[in-house]
Chain A
Amino acid sequence: MNIYLQTFKRDLRVAIRNPSSVLNPLLFFVISVSLFPLAISPEASTLSQIAAGIIWVASMLAVLLSLNALFHHDFENGVLEQMVISHHSLPLLILCKIAAHWILTGIPIILLSPLLGLFLFLDGESVKVLMLTLLLATPSLSLIGAIGASLIVGIKNSGMLLSLLILPLYIPILIFASSAVSQAQFDLEISGQLYFLATILMVSLMGAPFVSAFALKISLE
């Protein structure tokens, strides 16, 4: 079997057999969003105004929470060393790991978002836009996050450092995505925001695996 496909399947398999690392961020996502109506107000008009922002912030933090697991286990058991010295393309191997990460965190977040959108009184049209922004931008979150995860892979207790490194890079995504949903609520044009999100996705798809591979090599030295 092709090694890239094998890497992808292996990561899915490891995650399915050790589901807590995948389920914890998702649980965090659902719980944190569902606490807002209790804390702020159950009023439909208030909640629908801030719904997009809440769901987007929560999904970003959920992805951040899941990033530690991306390379950590493979670093601890020595699999990363073997990946680095193999003659296969390290950026491509990393891209396969990122793809598996997106399937395990990004896709469930996209699938859960309509439900949470309804919790917060988002109308049907806006829920569609919310899902579209998540579909366009969660792969970027995984890709950009992989750079941070590979930089801190050898450092113990590095959760805080990862947030400091990655969150500033996530800010443009947060701004464009949540403003797309809020504008859709007022029936305004959102193509500009979507193009920006697509551009960020393309740039991170091109660059992140290479930067991440470079960072991993440095971390392993």
Chain B
Amino acid sequence: MLKVTNLSCQRGYNQLFSNLNFNVNTGDILRITGANGSGKTSLLKILAGLNAPEEGETTFNNHSVKSDEYQNEVFYLGHLSAISAELTCIENLEFLTGLNKSIDQHLLIESLDQVGLKGYEDEYCAKLSAGQKRRVILAGLFVSNAKIWLLDEPFTALDPHGVKIVEDRISKHCAQGGFCLFTTHQDSALPNQKVLAL
């Protein structure tokens, strides 16, 4: 269980949120909503361990954010796609997944195929569109063994078919005992999603 207790976050002079408490249980899909600047990204960054909260704490099965047990289980997809233009799709993917756990190349090629990038393995990422770059890191997400998916605007730049692929994978991941927290301004057809309004 992912447990958030009394979390507060301040950016500059703005108090984004304070005394935030919620639990995410196995299989839960939590959609974080709120206006621009309400702290959605900051919350996800705190949960990923990138930012320190002003107050409060986050634990996963009683392990704190800093612990290896927690970090091993997290996959964070930020606004930036973490793709280097000079590298090919497969080189980018090998490095990104390697930061979590090294994965066989044929699984990576399969995953690229699943996000609709079959035949693009050796294409330089400089030549890809924004949506295709997004799909490369999503391919990395789909092969990762992380339980907690923290997705910041995962549907940005994706076409309707791409959105459908991501939604299906989120449902499947959570049905298999994973957790997913995501933010989006788009309508999401994900079933059983809980909503956290900031």
**Beta-carbon contact of B98 and A3 below 8 Å:** yes
Q: Is the C-beta of A7 less than 8 angstroms from some C-beta in chain B?
A: yes
**Beta-carbon contact of A81 and B82 below 8 Å:** yes
**Beta-carbon contact of B87 and A10 below 8 Å:** yes
Give the chain A neighbours of B100 by CB distance below 8 A. Answer: 86-87
**Beta-carbon contact of A1 and B98 below 8 Å:** yes
Give the chain A neighbours of B99 by CB distance below 8 A. Answer: 3, 82-83, 86, 88
Q: Which of A13-21, A31-39, A144-152 contacts B (4 or more CB under 8 A)?
A: A13-21
Q: Which residue of chain B is the closest to A84 with respect to CB atoms?
A: B50
Known: A1-B102, A13-B91, A84-B50. A77 touches B71 (CB 8 A): no
Q: How many residues of B contact A (CB 8 A)?
A: 28
**Beta-carbon contact of A82 and B98 below 8 Å:** no
Q: Is the C-beta of B79 less than 8 angstroms from some C-beta in chain A?
A: yes
Bitwise, A207-221 to B at CB < 8 A (1) or not (0) is 000000000000011
**Beta-carbon contact of B86 and A18 below 8 Å:** yes
**Beta-carbon contact of B80 and A221 below 8 Å:** no
**Beta-carbon contact of B76 and A7 below 8 Å:** no
Bitwise, B80-95 to A at CB < 8 A (1) or not (0) is 1111111100010011
Q: Is the C-beta of B108 less than 8 angstroms from some C-beta in chain A?
A: no
The B interface, classified by DSSP as helix, strand, loop or mixed, is loop
Give the chain B neighbours of A79 by CB distance below 8 A. Answer: 82, 84, 95-96
A78 to B95, CA, bound (A): 13
**Beta-carbon contact of A77 and B76 below 8 Å:** no
**Which of B74, B82, B91 is the most central at the interface, judged by chain A CB atoms within 10 Å of its CB?**
B82
**Beta-carbon contact of B86 and A85 below 8 Å:** no
Bitwise, A67-101 to B at CB < 8 A (1) or not (0) is 00000011011110111111110000000000000
Q: Is the C-beta of A46 less than 8 angstroms from some C-beta in chain B?
A: no
Q: Is the C-beta of B48 less than 8 angstroms from some C-beta in chain A?
A: yes
Known: A10-B95, A81-B50, A221-B52. A87 touches B71 (CB 8 A): yes
Q: Is the C-beta of A6 less than 8 angstroms from some C-beta in chain B?
A: yes
- Tell me the minimal C-beta distance from B30 to chain A in angstroms: 19
Q: Which residue of chain A is the closest to B67 with respect to CB atoms?
A: A87
Q: Which of A7, A84, A85, A87 contacts B95 (CB 8 A)?
A: A7
- Tell me the minimal C-beta distance from A16 to chain B in angstroms: 9
Give the chain B neighbours of A18 by CB distance below 8 A. Answer: 86
B53-71 contacts to A, CB under 8 A, are 68, 71
Q: Which residue of chain A is the closest to B74 with respect to CB atoms?
A: A85
**Beta-carbon contact of A221 and B91 below 8 Å:** no
Give the chain B neighbours of A73 by CB distance below 8 A. Answer: 84
**Which of B81, B82, B84, B85 is the most central at the interface, judged by chain A CB atoms within 10 Å of its CB?**
B84
Q: Is the C-beta of B49 less than 8 angstroms from some C-beta in chain A?
A: yes
Q: Is the C-beta of B21 less than 8 angstroms from some C-beta in chain A?
A: no
Known: A3-B102, A7-B95, A73-B84. A87 touches B68 (CB 8 A): yes
Q: Which residue of chain B is the closest to A220 with respect to CB atoms?
A: B50
**Beta-carbon contact of A6 and B95 below 8 Å:** yes
A209 to B170, CA, bound (A): 37
Residue positions of B touching A, CB distance < 8 A: 48-52, 68, 71-72, 74, 76, 78-87, 91, 94-96, 98-100, 102
Q: Return 25 A-B CB contacts under 8 Å, by A number.
A: A1-B98, A1-B102, A3-B98, A3-B99, A3-B102, A6-B95, A6-B98, A7-B95, A10-B84, A10-B91, A13-B87, A14-B86, A73-B84, A74-B84, A77-B81, A77-B85, A78-B78, A79-B84, A79-B95, A81-B78, A84-B50, A85-B49, A85-B50, A86-B71, A220-B50
Apart from the given pairs A78-B81, A81-B76, A85-B49, 9 other A-B contacts in the complex at a CB distance below 8 Å: A1-B94, A10-B87, A10-B95, A13-B87, A73-B84, A77-B81, A78-B79, A81-B82, A85-B50
